[in-house]
Amino acid sequence: MSTMEWILWSFLVAIYVTCVFTVAVLTFRKGHTVLGILGIFIPFLWLIGAILPAKRGSRHWVDEGIRRKEMMDDLTA
């Protein structure tokens, strides 16, 4: 492989790894543990978990509720 091919493949792998791990973290934060674990073997499942709404009581759900309450308090104050 030429130098240009190595650079291109390295760049594409770095982008893929970055995207996969950010989407995986979002999947786990939304409370989709099974999709997160299965996504290790089938990364497409991480995308599904990131798109689905957060489960009640998950970290993402709590953070979203706090953010919405603060926005409502700002609008009504």
Domain ranges of the chain: 3-76
Total-model pTM = 0.72
Residues 65-75 have a mean pLDDT of 92
End-to-end CA, the chain: 63
pLDDT score at 28:
93
Per-residue pLDDT of 12-64, as tens digits, reads: 999 888 888 899 999 999 999 999 999 888 888 988 999 999 999 999 999 99
Q: Rounded to 10 degrees, what is the CA torsion of 73, 65, 53, 35?
A: 150
